Every structure is written in C-alpha cells, then in structure tokens.
C-alpha cells in the first residue's frame, strides 16, 4: 500500500509495506525486522534555523513535515507545548560557549534531567492521540542504559491507553537513574532489571517486538530510538543550535556522545533535511564498536564494559542500521543481509565501498575513562562548570578538533547530579542536585529481576501468549 498523500516510511530491510507517521510511531520496528526511515526526506521549512520564534514553534516546524495529516489537528501543538511546560530553562536547549569557539548544547533541562526528555515528552502525547483516534491500547517495551527508561516512565506513566515495560541492566545504571524508573508508582509501568548489559536488554526488546504470538495478542511498539518518532523528536534541537550560532552555523561541527547512535543519527537527519552543518562526530567511551567498524570495516559485538558514562555502554548500536541503509544508497537487500548476519553471528565485515561511504557521513572517536575524568576536572577548573561523564566524553573529543575552521558544538546530554559518584571521584565533591532530582531516596521501589531470556521476561510481565 502506497500512501501517496501523506509522508510515508519504509523499512531499512525493504520487505514491509509503507506506513504513515502514526503507523511508524505505533509499530516501532517494521515487520521485517528493519527500522523505519522516511520514504522521502523532507526539506526543513524555509528559515527554520534563522532568527525569530521560540523553541516550541521551531520544534513544531521541524516535525510537521514528518507527520502531515497522519494525526488529528492540534496533536503536534499539544505535544510541543510540553517543552515549554516541562523544561526548566526558557530556551529549552540553550547553547553555552565554554571556550572560544567551543560550545555545549545543554539538553538536560527536562523533567528527568537528560536529553531523552526532549523527544519523549512529545512522543507520549502523539502516541496517546494516535491511539485515541484508532480506539486502541498499546504495550510499549523499551530497553534502557539509564536515561531512556527514566524519561519514558516520566512521559508515559499514568497514561490511559498505554502500558509501559522498561528493561534496564541490573546494577549497571546509576542509583539516581534507577530510582527515577522504579519509584514511579504508576499502575501502567513495569520495571525489569535484567541480569546482563544494555545489549541484552535491547535484544529482549527486539525479541518481544518480533514474537508472532505476542504481536497477535497486543498492539506492540518501543520508545527506544529504534522508534522513528523518538528519533525524529531529537532533530529540532540541532535546528535550535543552528539558530543560536547564526551566520556561523554552516561551519559548525557537532560532537555527539554516542551509545545507541540515535542522537547522532538525528544530527545526520537534520543535515539531510538541509540544516547547515560542517560535520558530525560520534564520540564513544571504550565501548567502541562504531569506531572499530569505521576504522577496520569489522562490525563486531563484544560484551560491553562498565564505564562512568553508563548510558553509552553499548556495543551493538541499533541506529547504525539506519546509517548503513542511507550510506549504501538505500540498498535494502545489502542492509538486510548485513544485519541478519550480525544478529546471527555477532560479527560482519562491511564492504570497502560501504565503509568509505560511511566515513563520508560521520566520523567516530573513542575516549578513555582516564580522559573522561580529566575532562570533568578540566571543565570545572577552566570554566567553573560541573559536567556529567557523557558530556565529558563529547567535550574531550571536541577539544581535539580544529576550531579555527568553525565552531564546535558538544552535546551535553545529562545533568551531572545523575552521576554523583563519577563526578565526585574527579572533583572531590558531589554535584548539587536540581529540585527535579530531589526526594528520590526513601521512596518505595518496584521492579523484578529477570534473566536475559524471552521466557523470563514474558513470565515477569505476565503477558498473554
């Protein structure tokens, strides 16, 4: 079915029907196991990165071409209104210069103090609207290395038509992140602590989404960045940064702390839509599967190593599939073959021409634990700013770049108070908590511990088969 009158979405693996925005939002993953991307990338509305207008209006302008008439009138305005209602800073995502030509794009002013709030708050409204229009109920499942789960619980907790299941790796999220997920008390939220790492959680989510019996019993989706709507919701803050940079926007390089590659692909999408941008750098911690793939052509999943930047402890970034699809000239057969092999073997070798094409689209660097700690110290000493370890990864990578060619923007993805142990180890004191992170300790927690198997997960959430 071709929905020619609406913006439509196709699978990276080429074997699923086209869907509209609501279809992609409520499905999460395409039936063939691929990820949805726009059939035709829209152009940004004229002057969306120019002066004038507030961040809420700008977000609506960026997202409107993706939605078209797939949702009832007013849905997008209600969704973007959550940015001004739920964020503590009037600019939503302020751009701050920390050194000559070096900027931080602060994305931690939302209700859970992490960048995931920006898209999640909007997606919750859009999903509830779509379900009301179709008179359906949705089961959302999401894997998290910490911030996604907290943002999802805050955004979707208490919604009438949505049940939310969050899987996090046991003992591998910060205490603040865990408490944000497990103390909600919302009747529609189930928290599962998985004996494994984030990649195990992500594998379980994909297994749930593909399970034919479960799909027949429930409407299923995910709010990880594998969901197109979640990823699209991150594009507007790149436009916000470009607006703040003004005439220098076209010379700017963005450095993105990278785990599942969703935030970085959102930047790629912004550039694909015509946003002025000189370059895009994905900065990883020592879990550097993306770096190794671009340098050697071998994309291999190994066990993720625990780091201070826990939300980036990922060795199988799902959104790499979207980049492969685009860089290969949208070769769905190649993409399907590569990622089916990867799912089976945990290792693939990228063709040389594909690796060359990928390196034209994005570069990637790895930052060590010692470098991360030193960057936290340096930023405090030189700038008087306390940063989280994820931001430190991006800032350290950003300092390696030549700023004489144009400004460098490091994405600051979380408030340092979410990671007090790492910050205190570097600075000798814990960061001050903002009001939205106060009062978590002492609240009653609710979660179940499960093995990283589909059977264990299904039993824990007691879903119909």
Catalytic positions, written as ranges:
116
Q: Which residues partner with 20 through β-bridges?
A: 8
Q: Which helix (H) or strand (E) holds 59?
A: helix 55-67
Q: Which of 143, 145, 162, 111 is nearest to 227 (CA)?
A: 143
Strand intervals (E) in 49-171? 95-99, 102-106, 138-143, 162-169
Distance between CA 355 and CA 357 in Å, rounded? 5
Q: Which helix (H) or strand (E) holds 410?
A: strand 408-412
Contacts of 334 (CB under 8 A, 6+ apart): 324, 328, 351, 354
Q: CA dist 64 to 49, 61, 132, 212, 238, Å? A: 15, 5, 20, 33, 16
334's torsion region: left (phi>0), alpha (psi -120 to 50) or beta? Answer: alpha
Question: DSSP labels for 304-354?
Answer: PPP-SSGGG--SS-TTHHHHHHHHTTS-HHHHHHHHHHHHHHSEEE--HHH
300's torsion region: left (phi>0), alpha (psi -120 to 50) or beta? Answer: beta
Pairing of strands 347-349, 8-11: unpaired
């Amino acid at each position: 079915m071709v929905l020619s009158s609406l913006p439509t979405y196709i699978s990276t693996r080429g074997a699923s029907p086209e869907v509209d925005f609501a279809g992609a939002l409520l499905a999460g993953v395409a039936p063939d196991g691929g990820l949805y991307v726009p059939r035709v990338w829209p152009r940004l509305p004229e002057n969306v990165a120019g002066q004038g207008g507030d961040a809420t209006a700008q977000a609506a302008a960026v997202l409107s071409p993706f939605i078209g008439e797939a949702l009832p009138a007013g849905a997008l305005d209600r969704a973007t209104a959550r940015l001004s209602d739920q964020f503590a800073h009037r600019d939503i995502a302020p751009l701050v210069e920390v050194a000559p030509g070096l900027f931080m794009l602060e994305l931690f002013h939302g209700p859970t103090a992490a960048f995931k709030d920006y898209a999640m708050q909007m997606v919750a409204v859009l999903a509830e609207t779509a379900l009301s229009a179709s008179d359906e109920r949705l089961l959302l499942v999401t894997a998290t290395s910490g911030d996604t789960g907290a943002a999802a619980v805050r955004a979707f907790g208490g919604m009438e038509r949505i049940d939310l299941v969050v899987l996090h790796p046991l003992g591998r999220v910060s205490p603040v992140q865990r408490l944000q997920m497990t103390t909600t008390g919302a009747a529609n939220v189930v928290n599962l602590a998985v004996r494994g790492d984030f990649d195990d959680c992500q594998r379980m989510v994909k297994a749930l989404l593909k399970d034919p019996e479960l799909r027949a019993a429930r409407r299923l989706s995910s709010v990880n960045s594998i969901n197109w709507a979640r990823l699209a919701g991150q594009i507007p803050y790149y436009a916000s940064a470009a607006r703040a940079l003004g005439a220098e926007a076209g010379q700017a390089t963005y450095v993105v702390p990278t785990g599942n590659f969703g935030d970085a692909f959102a930047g790629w999408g912004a550039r694909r839509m015509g946003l002025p941008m000189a370059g895009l750098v994905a900065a990883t911690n020592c879990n550097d599967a993306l770096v190794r793939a671009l340098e050697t052509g071998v994309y291999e999943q190994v066990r993720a190593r625990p780091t201070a930047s826990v939300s980036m402890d990922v060795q199988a970034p799902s959104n790499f599939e979207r980049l492969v699809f685009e860089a290969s000239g949208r070769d769905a057969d190649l993409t399907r073959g590569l990622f089916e092999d990867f799912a089976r073997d945990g290792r693939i070798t990228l063709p040389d021409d594909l690796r060359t094409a990928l390196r034209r689209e994005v570069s990637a660097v790895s930052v060590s634990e010692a470098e991360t700690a030193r960057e936290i110290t340096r930023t405090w000493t030189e700038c008087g700013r306390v940063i989280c370890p994820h931001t430190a990864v991006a800032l350290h990578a950003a300092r390696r770049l030549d700023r004489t060619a144009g400004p460098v923007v490091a994405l600051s993805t979380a408030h340092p108070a979410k990671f007090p142990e790492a910050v205190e180890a570097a600075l000798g004191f814990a960061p001050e908590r903002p009001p939205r992170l106060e009062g978590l300790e002492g609240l009653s927690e609710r979660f179940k511990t499960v093995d990283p198997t589909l059977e264990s997960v299904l039993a824990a959430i007691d879903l119909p088969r």
